Amino acid sequence: MGSHLYYFVSVVLLDYHVLQIYKYRKVSSVRDEAKHEGLNLRKPEELTLESQYEKLKNQLDIDHWENKRIERPWEEGVEKNAEKS
């Protein structure tokens, strides 16, 4: 299924066995192939950037936050030595 997802709606096939006649065949869309494989995809209207932003905005408190600095591997001894002095 992986490589088939990237084909366009129609694929031109060159048939060397029958006088090099071009044949066209329909390739199903990504959504149709995903549905055939058992994946449930959301409708494009349901999943928008604005809807995801609103969802995150309601979950997170962006007004009250604290900047936490993690310890870097090359600074392990520096902070411990500074505390001892």
The continuous run of DSSP H or E covering 10 comes out as strand 10-15
> Residue 77: pLDDT band by 50, 70, 90 thresholds?
low
Beta bridge partners of 22: 14
pLDDT at 64 over 50: yes
Residue corresponding to tokens 């936050």 = 65
- Would the pTM of this model clear 0.85, i.e. be above it? no
3-state secondary structure of 73: helix
Alpha-carbon dihedral 41, 42, 43, 44, rounded to 10 degrees: -100
pLDDT in tens, 4-55: 444 533 444 444 444 455 555 566 788 888 888 888 888 878 889 998 898 8
